[in-house]
Amino acid sequence: MFVYMDHTATTPVSPEVLNAMIPYFSDVFGNPSSVYSFSRKSRGAIEKARKQVADALNADTSEIFFTGSGTEADNWALKGTLEKGKIAGKNHIITTSIEHHAILHTCEYLKKVEGADITYLPVNSEGMVSVDDVRNAITDKTAIVSVMFANNEVGTIQPIKEIGALCRERKIPFHTDAVQGAAHLDIDVKAMNIDMLSMSAHKMYGPKGVGALYLRKGMRPENFIHGGAQEKGRRASTENLAGIVGFGEAFEILKGRLNEDKAINSSRRDRLIAGILERIPHAKLNGATGDNRLPNNINFSFIGVEGETLLLDLDAKGISASTGSACSSESLDPSHVLLALGLKHEMAHGSLRFTIGRLTTDEHIDYLLEVLPEIVARRRAMSPLWEDYLKSIGEK
């Protein structure tokens, strides 16, 4: 059995999306910037996709700019806004300690190269940022506040509307990395007071290598990719025509089934969480409960074992899961997100993330609940860490 439980790392392109994209590779292939009528079809397709993305967010089409990825949208928002802010003497960035590396590494770069001053806000044990902490961190040098919509590792959903209202009142540009949020939640950029928002198609059953940045009217970060006059002169390079068409289609389909997906995912999520807590002793759920958690996220720590080892054992049983984020799977450092939630290193090392989605079935949940307890028990039986833990709590 192939059980894909890593929908947060990426999703398959849905058949409807693929069908919509196919004509734009070799049939309708004209350069959208050319003047002849053949190219008008390509331009039209991009403008249709722009409307699909704008409608999904309650934005205007003039506020959507396609990029090469969610990472690029994050880089553009942060670098472009800080560069703009520096002209007015502002070089302070407020962000959180649980952001994706697309934000954190960009902040490190801005500190090193631009001398930016960075505040990394803490989170509580459920992974939630406090609006008061944002308020207290603001100074007259603050150029941008960037808080992710929903966390990719533990699924915690942040109080975006409230942070947005605060930033609006203080006239500070507010950016949110909504790569995960947009894939699962209803987002209304107007009602939520959002100035800039990053998205990515491959997290929502669209193709890899295409994203977008929402820039509210009046937001003018410096350009990030320089060259031709595409995207109204604000993001150069020949458009990823088929990719953009796929993104628009994927987002429209996602919006159409959002409530249905939310209901089925959250019921499977809760069944999996309850099943693990029931069958595996000393299992700890990481992140928030209920409405403050992404409907598809399950993240556990199993004291006494290494998450990496469990991943390999699961893989041998046909199950694809993750420890923390796929981007940190190359390094053996524990997840920065789990550490920010206050987990000890040994708990952070024993973590597993399961993210469900359209490929998930009820049988997959049953199968995982059948094999995971055995795997954890077998590894714990061989683990000196587990022995030490049992002694520490007086059970041995």
Ligand X SMILES: *Cc1c(COP(=O)(O)O)cnc(C)c1O
Q: Is 268 one of the binding residues for ligand X (CB under 6 A)?
A: no
28 class by beta-carbon count within 10 Å (0-12 exposed, 13-18 middle, 19+ buried): middle
348 class by beta-carbon count within 10 Å (0-12 exposed, 13-18 middle, 19+ buried): buried
Sign of the C-alpha dihedral, residues 17, 18, 21, 22? negative
**Which one of the spans 48-56, 64-72, 115-123, 287-295 is the region binding ligand X (CB under 6 A)?**
64-72
User: Do 95 and 147 contact (CB within 8 A), yes or no?
Assistant: yes
**CA 294, CA 277: separation in Å to the nearest integer?**
19
User: What length is written for the chain?
Assistant: 396
- How far CA 8 is from CA of 183, 204, 353, in Å, comes to 9, 9, 9
- Answer for which of 79, 92, 184, 203 binds ligand X (CB under 6 A) is 203
**CA 63, CA 235: separation in Å to the nearest integer?**
13
Q: What tokens were used for 186?
A: 């209803």
- Answer for which of 11, 14, 42, 69 binds ligand X (CB under 6 A) is 69
**CA 54, CA 49: separation in Å to the nearest integer?**
8
- Answer for which of 200, 230, 322, 351 binds ligand X (CB under 6 A) is 200
Residue nearest to ligand X (CB): 70
List the catalytic residue out of 22, 118, 258, 327: 327
Mask 148-167, x = binds ligand X (CB under 6 A)?
x---x---------------
Q: State the minimum distance, in angstroms, from the CB of residue 242 to ligand X.
A: 16
Q: Is 71 one of the binding residues for ligand X (CB under 6 A)?
A: yes
Question: What crossing angle do the helices spanning 307-316 and 362-381 adopt, rounded to 10°?
Answer: 130
- What are the residues whose beta carbons fall under 8 Å from the beta carbon of 279, sequence distance 6 or more? 369, 372, 373
167: annotated active-site residue: no
Question: In this complex, which beta carbon is closest to ligand X, that of residue 100 or of residue 234?
Answer: 100
**Intra-chain end-to-end CA distance of the chain, in Å:** 38
Residues 289-348 that bind ligand X (CB under 6 A): none
Q: State the minimum distance, in angstroms, from the CB of residue 171 to ligand X.
A: 26
Q: State the minimum distance, in angstroms, from the CB of residue 202 to ligand X.
A: 6
Q: Is 231 one of the binding residues for ligand X (CB under 6 A)?
A: no
- How far CA 312 is from CA of 309, 316, 319, 320, 376, in Å, comes to 5, 6, 9, 9, 12
- Answer for which of 96, 119, 142, 180 binds ligand X (CB under 6 A) is 180
Question: In this complex, which beta carbon is closest to ligand X, that of residue 243 or of residue 304?
Answer: 243
- Answer for which of 32, 70, 173, 206 binds ligand X (CB under 6 A) is 70
Q: Is 179 one of the binding residues for ligand X (CB under 6 A)?
A: yes
Q: State the minimum distance, in angstroms, from the CB of residue 27 to ligand X.
A: 26
Q: Where does this chain bind ligand X (CB under 6 A)?
A: 69-71, 100, 102, 148, 152, 177, 179-180, 200, 202-203, 211
Q: Which residues are catalytic?
A: 327
